A and B are shown apart, each in its own frame.
Chain A
Amino acid sequence: MTTGSAPPSRASIDRAGPWVDRAFGAHAIALYLFLYVPIGLVVLFSFNAGDRTGELRGLSLRWYERAVNDSFAMGALGNSVIVGTWTALIATTLGTLAALALQRVPRRVRAVFEAITYVAIIIPGIVIGIATLIFFVNTFAWLNPQLAALWSAVGLPDPPTIGTGLHTIIAAHVLFTMAIVIVLVRTRMAGMDRSLTEASYDLFATPVRTFFQVTLPQLRPAIVAGALLAFTFSFDDYVIASFVAGPGKPTLPMYVFSSIRRGITPEINAIAAMVLTVTASLLLVAGLVYRRSSRIAAAQPAAGLEPVIDGGLR
């Protein structure tokens, strides 16, 4: 028996016996195999010297070579990097600003805004794809005649037409990644020490100086983690991009998806292995940054990660 507030040892709360322990352990091992064997096979077959996935005929890097020299794949990769970078920049900026503002708005406004934020995170990608497509189609249908009228009024030839493209994908990705940043930054704010801000004011710092010297350094881990996650989710998205992408400008997931539809080749495995490496390392960095911040704040690390996971829905 343990007494007082000391945490009881496991043996005292659960004398289930070694066979129950073993059953739980075996279940866990089976699940880890279930989670990792398929990914491992993708990576393994990316090194296949043979032509077919499923039959390993020695190891080689020929599919990596093929992937790197595939101009369509590399073009799509470039598009994805552009979209991911802009998404991360815009989502992080807008999300952080909104999170700062939410501290100071009336409770009802905050509740509504938070509700919309959670809707943006949890709603399936397909709905976001449709909603943003509707917005862009209507906007362009209204905007382009206006532009044409303006151009002819001024007497210029060839009025520009605005259509879908990488910018529309970025706008759609910002919608849900911004919501993730808002949740992350707000979680961080909740764990922040208010007395530091008050001390700053007591020492006659201006609000702007207080923000840059006290608030922002404390928020930085959440902002960095938010930016990395925004990039990753944008980089990974297929469904939303397929709705609002412009003609001839596919993202990497769009390229991979259409390649799979045409037939499986080890080249896709090579691309997949590279994507896995990049996203896993980015997430590792995001996780480490956020973890360190949680330790400093002595907040519960798990509470902050929950919304991160929600955000990964698409």
Chain B
Amino acid sequence: MTRSVAGRWRSTAATVLLLMPAATWYALLLLVPLVILMVFSFGGRAPEGGYRPDFTFANYAELPTRSAAFINALWMATGGTALCLLIGFPLAYYLATRAGPRRTLLLVLVVVPFWTSFLIRTYAWLTILGNNGIPAWLERLGFGHVVLLNTPFAVMLGIVYNYLPLMVFPLYVSLERLDKRLLEASKDLGAGRWATFRQVTLPLSSAGLLSGVILVFIPIMGEYIIPALLGGGKVFFIGNALVDLFLQSRNWPFGSAAAIVLIAVILIAVTIYLRVGSRAGRTREVSLL
């Protein structure tokens, strides 16, 4: 009896030991700093930059001065997510239903660019959209002087280019798992192509669709590299404001308030995702019965 108690105790101790390093990492580098960030956001700015203890809402009141960054990010994240979905869905559908034996290879080809350097993929467009790139060709064709770089168009293009694979993959997974007999049944019951798509395919792939949307939306909200390189200071996101506030102007309390708002937006997006997701899950169960 005592041996089994000792054994259990030893086993518990081993578990705690195994989990401790990772838990410490999470606590020290993520959770505690997030609490500090919260505290900072109500603090004052020390004369030399950094943080001075205080309790004030001044930082939050000052946020509207950076509203352009928030509005840009929110609008571009929404638009970019929608574009990725519109462009990515047909590709995912093609891969899941029509690609045949090559489909594993084709799927890997979608994912590989996403895994390779983000910075370099964004850099690639810098040359293409720059003055020696497409604008030069357009000018030769007689379209006059066209500016593509440092415009919202360039930033949106960079977003779709970088995040498209992240949308296609979960969509593919859910479309691929879709029970083909249900499509058959729909057809047998007299539904047309569009009706089958809307009433069977779309609801049954909603889990992948939601994952894709959240996987794309959240990182775009926090994007820094794309607006920095392709927006050229004219189109900037919260990420750019945060880099400025934390690393250049060193206004940490104000930066903390901006970061808290970014985190809040992400939390809202995740909450909506979980809510809608659980409802979509229920629909799915019902329709499978």
Residues of A within 8 A of B (CB): 1-2, 7-8, 10, 12-14, 16, 21, 24-25, 27-28, 31-32, 34-36, 38-39, 41-42, 45, 52-55, 94-95, 97-98, 100-102, 104-105, 113, 116-117, 119-120, 122-128, 130-135, 137-138, 171-172, 174-175, 178, 182, 232, 236, 238-239, 242-243, 253, 256-257, 260, 264, 268, 272, 275-276, 279-280, 283, 287, 302-303, 305-306, 309-310, 312-314
Q: Mark the stretch among B28-36, B54-62, B140-148 that contacts chain A.
A: B28-36
Interface positions, chain B 99-156, Cβ under 8 Å from A, are 99, 106, 108-121, 123-128, 130, 132-133, 136
Which of A24, A135, A178, A256 makes the CB contact (< 8 A) with B90? A24
- Using a CB-CB cutoff of 8 Å, which residues 3-45 of chain B contact chain A? 11, 15-16, 18-19, 21-23, 25-26, 28-34, 36-37, 40
Query: Are A128 and B93 in contact, with the CB atoms below 8 A?
Result: no
Q: Does B225 touch A at the CB level, under 8 Å?
A: yes
Minimum Cβ distance to chain B for residue A109 (Å) = 8
Q: Tell me the bound Cα distance from A219 to B285 in angstroms.
A: 33
Total A-B contacts with CB atoms under 8 angstroms apart: 247
A-B contact sample (20 more), CB < 8 A, given A256-B119, A313-B215: A27-B91, A27-B94, A28-B90, A38-B124, A54-B133, A98-B19, A98-B22, A124-B266, A126-B239, A127-B263, A130-B33, A134-B37, A171-B29, A175-B25, A242-B247, A280-B116, A309-B170, A310-B215, A313-B166, A314-B118
Q: Among the listed A8, A28, A313, which residue makes an inter-chain contact with B219, where contact means beta carbons less than 8 Å apart?
A: A313
In the assembly, what is the distance between CA of A98 and CA of B21, in Å?
8
| B255 contacts partner chain A, Cβ-Cβ < 8 Å | yes
Contact call B18/A100, Cβ cutoff below 8 A: yes
Cα-based distance from A312 to B85 in the complex (angstroms): 19
Q: Roughly how many angstroms separate A21 CA and B247 CA in the complex, as a whole number?
A: 52
Asked if B242 is an interface residue, CB under 8 A from chain A, the answer is yes
CB nearest to A257 among chain B residues: B119
Q: Which of A36, A131, A138, A236 has the most CB of B within 10 A?
A: A131
- Is A35 touching B23 in the complex (CB atoms < 8 A)? no
Indicate if B98 sits at the interface (CB-CB under 8 A). yes
Asked whether, in the complex, the Cβ of B127 is within 8 Å of the Cβ of A41, the reply is yes
Chain A, Cβ-Cβ closest to B18: A101
- The 19 listed contacts between A and B (C-beta, < 8 Å) are A24-B90, A28-B106, A36-B113, A38-B121, A41-B128, A54-B133, A104-B11, A104-B15, A113-B19, A116-B26, A116-B30, A123-B218, A123-B266, A134-B40, A172-B29, A182-B22, A283-B116, A309-B111, A309-B169
Q: Which of A54, A128, A175, A280 counts the most B-chain CB atoms under 10 A from its CB?
A: A54
Instruction: Say how far B162's CB is from chain A's closest CB, in angstroms.
Output: 10
Q: Is the CB of B29 within 8 A of A131?
A: yes
Closest to A35 in B: B113
- Please name all residues of chain B whose beta carbon is closer than 8 Å to the beta carbon of A7 when the two chains form the complex: 180
Return the contact of A105 from the options B19, B120, B125, B225 (Cβ within 8 A).
Answer: B19
A272 to B211, CA, bound (A): 31
A280 to B111, CA, bound (A): 11
Among B25, B30, B193, the residue within 8 A (CB) of A119 is B30
- Collect the chain A residues with CB atoms within 8 Å of residue B90's CB: 24, 27-28
> Would you call B279 an interface residue if the criterion is a C-beta within 8 Å of the partner chain's C-beta atoms?
no
Contacts known (A12-B184, A25-B94, A120-B26); A135 close to B32, Cβ less than 8 A: yes
Q: Do A272 and B218 touch (CB < 8 A)?
A: no
Could you tell me the distance between the alpha carbons of A130 and B170 in the complex, rounded to whole angstroms? Answer: 29
State A117–B31 Cα separation when bound (angstroms): 11
Using Cβ atoms and an 8 Å threshold, which residues of chain A touch B106? 28, 32
The distance in angstroms between the C-alpha atoms of A45 and B176, with both chains bound, is 38
B204 CB to nearest A CB, Å: 13
- For A98, what are the chain B residues with a Cβ–Cβ distance below 8 Å? 18-19, 21-23
**Chain B residues in 8 Å Cβ range of A256:** 119-120, 123
